A and B are shown apart, each in its own frame.
Chain A
Amino acid sequence: MLEIRNVHKSFGNNEILKGVNLTVDKGDVVVILGPSGSGKTTLLRCINFLERADQGTATFDDMTVDLHKANKKEVLAVRKKSAFVFQNYNLFNNKTALENVAEGLIIGRKIPKEEAYKISREALDKVGLSNKYDSYPSQLSGGQQQRVGIARAVALNPDVILFDEPTSALDPELVGEVLEVMKEIAREGTTMIVVTHEMGFAKDVAKKVIFMDGGNIVEEGTPHDIFVTPKEERTRKFLRRVLPGEYDYEI
């Protein structure tokens, strides 16, 4: 359904992505792990054209775009097929929760207002915020803001939702509610690419886990492949750092 081919990206002399390939099937939850600076976030941002790749292609079903040369129309087309959940939520500060969700529907997709608000209310209900329609982001907790962020992505009904470390900016006690919502939409069959440091989420929900390091995909497989029987030394080292106790136990 989504095929990413040979993505390269440098910032100045610093090569962040060195030819990354990635295939995502419909309904899959793909979790990308890796140390900071490994290019996970940059990869997601390149798919959504928040960053211009130096090279590479993305194929959504029958539409292939060049991630470097795409014109405005192609960029908009790709953004219509994908949605993005940001680490810092990035809710529109001047809009209420409901308006945040509806904005992309009304302006981006030209859906009539009435219908857009109906879809938006349903999306907010789904993330458990049916009593916060009219709250501004400044009135919401981090966890609630991120749930609005997820509702904003879900409402667009995209082919794939890209999650960029959605819980990294949250207070620890608020992480759970956001992961719960993500699990819920994963169960409904939403295609998701998730960059995260939540190993529990990766183990429980991922169809495929990808380990990235130094701008390359080092290893990919099922959660079992990666967490229990990692083949690459770099993967093992990383896991030892992030899950010290569990790793010893698994050995």
Chain B
Amino acid sequence: MNSSFINTEFLIDTFFVALSGVPIALLVTAVALAIALPIGFFLALSRINEIPVLNGFTKVYVSFVRGTPLIIQIFVLYSILPLILAGIFERYEIDFPIYEVNPLWYAFVIFSFNTAAILVEVFRSALKTVNAGQLEAAYSVGLTTSQAYRRIIIPQMLVSTMPNLCTATINLIKATSLGYAISLQEITLKAKVAANVGYNYLEAYIDIFIVYLILCITVEYLFKVFEKRLSRYKAVATA
């Protein structure tokens, strides 16, 4: 037994255990973003253009997600989804072992569901920063709405999206740590399991801290580089 305050050897070993959870954390982040980005964008458009039904639905959805703790959303979806699916499968006599599904799939659903709501607000505020005149000018030179969005509105919107999107992404990466609650094999769970053996929780937590810190700083840096590239047209001061 190591008698010092911190078990250095365990600290180092567990760091690599925690590190081995990074791919899962990043996979969940990437999939959630890939699903949530288009959904968030279109729901933001429906809010801004006040599309009936969709607008109201989006308001409720966003309020619900923002107004409830993520951990509770995870528990609720994790309990309700299998029940609903089991019911459907039973009804159509599909033989599927719903209770043996890899929690990774639940993580995809839960984090997409949560992130899309966050991104609605991110995109909504970003869309509002693009002057309505830009769309009118695009129309006046003969562009269709989708051409105007693709070529004029979205490129400009992205610049002001970046800081908030970066925050949302970092929050998402950190939120995947809650995946341990549904036995997702990610950073936190792996380090905690390692700590269970010898009660080295402090070391494990320090490792978890460091891994997330490295991840998030890297992501932050990448976003900064990308933001700089996107805002080239703004970078130069008026002559």
Q: Which residues of A contact B (CB under 8 A)?
A: 48-50, 72, 76, 79-80, 82-84, 86, 88, 90-96, 103-104, 107-109, 135-136, 138-141, 152, 156
Contacts and interface: CB of A to CB of B under 8 A. Distances in A.
Contact of A86 (B133, B152, B233, B237): B133
B156 to A, nearest CB: 5
B81 interface: no
A90 B156 contact: no
B134 interface: yes
A79 B237 CA distance: 34
Contact of B141 (A49, A108, A139, A140): A108
A94 B155 contact: yes
Given A90-B133, A90-B137, A93-B156, A109 B233 contact: no
A92 B150 CA distance: 13
Give me the 10 closest cross-chain CB pairs, A-B, nearest first.
A108-B142, A104-B141, A84-B140, A90-B133, A90-B137, A136-B233, A94-B155, A79-B142, A94-B233, A94-B156
B139 interface: yes
Nearest to A79: B142
A32 to B, nearest CB: 18
B238 interface: yes
Contacts of B133: 86, 88, 90
Contacts of B144: 72, 76
B238 A138 contact: yes
A86 B141 contact: no
B151 A139 contact: no
- The majority secondary structure among interface residues of chain A is loop
B131 interface: yes
Given A86-B136, A138-B234, A80 B142 contact: yes
Contacts of B156: 93-94
A107 B131 CA distance: 21
Nearest to B140: A84
A93 B141 contact: no
A104 B142 CA distance: 6
B137 A109 contact: no
Given A80-B142, A108-B143, A139-B236, 11 more contacts: A48-B139, A72-B144, A79-B139, A92-B137, A92-B152, A94-B152, A95-B152, A108-B141, A108-B147, A135-B239, A156-B142
Given A88-B133, A92-B134, A136 B236 contact: yes
